[in-house]
Structure 1
C-alpha cells in the first residue's frame, strides 16, 4: 500500500538522481527521509547518526567516498537547525565555541583534503578500520562519555590540540565525530551533557562550512539525494534539540549510552559476518 501510494506521485526516482535501494522509487525516497530524520535526532542528542547515513547512501549506489562527502550537506543543515533551536532555548556557550572552532577548522580542512585524495577502493577499508576502533572504544568504556567532572575546566593548549585532532577526524570521516566531541566538552571541560550537545553542533556547523566546499570541489557530493537527506535531517535535529532541552541531561545520558552500545554493535557486525559467515 505505501509503495503504491508513493509511486502514484511525482517522478520519485529523479529525487534520488536515479539511485535505488529497494527498486521502488517512492519507497526509496521515504527511507532516505526517515534515515535523515533519525540521523538528525541522533546527532543532536549524542552522535553516530552518520553510521546510518553512509551505509544508506552506499546501498543506494554511491561510492563510499561520495557518500562521505554527500552526508556533509545533511550535517550542515541539521547542525544549523539544532544551533537555532538551542539558541532560541538559550542553551549555548558562544565564548567557548569561539575558542574551539578555529583549531577544529584547521584540523577539518586537513582531514577533508586527505579524504578527497583517496580512491574508493582505499577509502572503504579505511572506514572499516576507523569504525572498528570506535566499536572497541565505545563498547569497552562507555562511561567515559557520561560522567563529566564536578568542576569545569578552562580550555588550554591541550584542549586546542584535542579540538584540532577531533576536527581532523571529522573532516576525514564524519561518522562518529559526535562521540569525541562529547568527551572533549563533557569529560575534559566538565560541561553538562545538554550544553555539550549545544556546543558540539555549533562546532560541527563551523568546521562543516569549511569541509563541505572541499568535497564539492572534488566532485564527491551527490546533490540530489543530499537534498532529500537535508529535509529529514533538519526535522530530526529540531526535534532532538527541543526534546533534550525539555528533559535535561538525564535523557541525553540514556540516549548516549544506547547509541554507544548500538553503534558499537552495528560497527562490529560486518566484521563478525566476514569471520563467521
Structure 2
C-alpha cells in the first residue's frame, strides 16, 4: 500500500477516535513506524499531527474554562507548559532502542486509562471523594501529567480527569473544558521543542493532520448516532491489540 494513503487513512481514523473516545495516537504512532519512521521521531510527529484537532477543541470550550479546585487555569496552564517542555526534552534524549522497550508500557498505561479512567472518575465523584486535596497536590499532579503529555501523551486527558476526581469535588462536566485546555498547553510546549530540534517528519504530518481534522468532524457526527459503550469498547479493543503487538515486538 502507498504510504501516503496509509498515513491519510490513519489520520482519518485517529481523528475520529479522538472525537469519540480518545486514543488516536494508538493509530498514528504505529502507522508512522510502519512507514519506517524511527520510534522517537514517530511519537513526536504523531503529537504534532494530532495537535490541531485538540487546539480546535480547546477553542470551542473557551467560554467554559475556569479554575480547578481553586487553582487558576492560567497557573495550571503554565505548569502544564513547563511539564510538556520537560517531557519533550526527555523524549528526544531517549535512545530509540530504549524507547522501543519503554513504549509498550506507555501504551499499557494509556490503555488502562482508556478502559477504566472514566469509570473510576465517575465512581469517585459518586462517592464524594477528593475534597481534602490542596493546591500543592493539584499543581504537583498537573506537573507530572504535563511531563507525561510531552513525553508520550496517550490518554493524558482521561488521566487528568481521573486525577482530578481523586483530588477535587468538582463535577466531571465542569472539568471537560480545563482538561482540553491543559492538554493543549502541554502539547504546545512539546511540539515547539520537537519543531526546533528538527524531530518532526513534516511530510507525514501534512498527510496526517488534515485527515485527522476531517476524522474529528466525522467522529463527532458518528458520536451523536453510535452508542457510547460500543464506541468505547471498540477503542479499548484496538488499543489492547496495538499494545500486545508492541510488547511482542519489543520483548519477543
What is the CA distance between 1:53 and its match in structure 2? Answer: 0.8
| Aligned counterparts of 2:19 and 2:175: Cα–Cα separation in 1 | 10
The secondary structure found in structure 2 opposite 1:174 is coil
Q: 1:84 aligns with which of 59, 62, 65?
A: 59
Match for residue 11 of structure 2? Answer: 36
What is the CA distance between 1:194 and its match in structure 2? Answer: 5.5
Contact 1:112/1:214 (<8 A) preserved:
yes
Unaligned runs of 5+ in 1: 1-21
Match for residue 189 of structure 2? Answer: 210
Unaligned runs of 5+ in 2: none
What is the CA distance between 1:141 and its match in structure 2? Answer: 7.6
Q: 1:149 aligns with which of 117, 125, 147?
A: 125
| Aligned counterparts of 1:198 and 1:240: Cα–Cα separation in 2 | 19
Contact 2:115/2:236 (<8 A) preserved:
yes
Q: 2:65 aligns with which of 79, 93, 97?
A: 93
Match for residue 147 of structure 2? Answer: 168
What is the CA distance between 1:273 and its match in structure 2? Answer: 7.4
What is the CA distance between 1:29 and its match in structure 2? Answer: 2.8
What is the CA distance between 1:193 and its match in structure 2? Answer: 5.3
Q: 2:102 aligns with which of 118, 126, 138?
A: 126
Match for residue 211 of structure 2? Answer: 232
Contact 1:147/1:187 (<8 A) preserved:
no
Task: Decide whether aligned partners of structure 1 residues 142 and 205 sit closer, same or farther in structure 2, where only a CA change above 3 A counts.
Answer: closer
Tell me the alpha carbon deviations over residues 27-62 of structure 1, each in whole angstroms, 9 at most, x when there is no partner.
x33332232122223224432211111100011111
What is the CA distance between 1:104 and its match in structure 2? Answer: 1.5
Q: 1:49 aligns with which of 24, 33, 53?
A: 24
Q: 2:34 aligns with which of 59, 62, 66?
A: 59
Task: Decide whether aligned partners of structure 1 residues 117 and 85 sit closer, same or farther in structure 2, where only a CA change above 3 A counts.
Answer: same
Contact 2:103/2:246 (<8 A) preserved:
no
Contact 2:100/2:250 (<8 A) preserved:
no
The secondary structure found in structure 2 opposite 1:149 is helix
Task: Decide whether aligned partners of structure 1 residues 136 and 61 sit closer, same or farther in structure 2, where only a CA change above 3 A counts.
Answer: same
Contact 2:40/2:96 (<8 A) preserved:
yes
| Aligned counterparts of 1:202 and 1:241: Cα–Cα separation in 2 | 19
| Aligned counterparts of 2:174 and 2:219: Cα–Cα separation in 1 | 13
Query: Cα RMSD between the aligned structures?
Result: 3.3
| Aligned counterparts of 1:253 and 1:145: Cα–Cα separation in 2 | 16
Contact 2:84/2:146 (<8 A) preserved:
yes
Larger-gyration structure (1/2): 1
What is the CA distance between 1:145 and its match in structure 2? Answer: 4.6
- Compute the TM-score of the two structures, normalised by the length of structure 2: 0.79
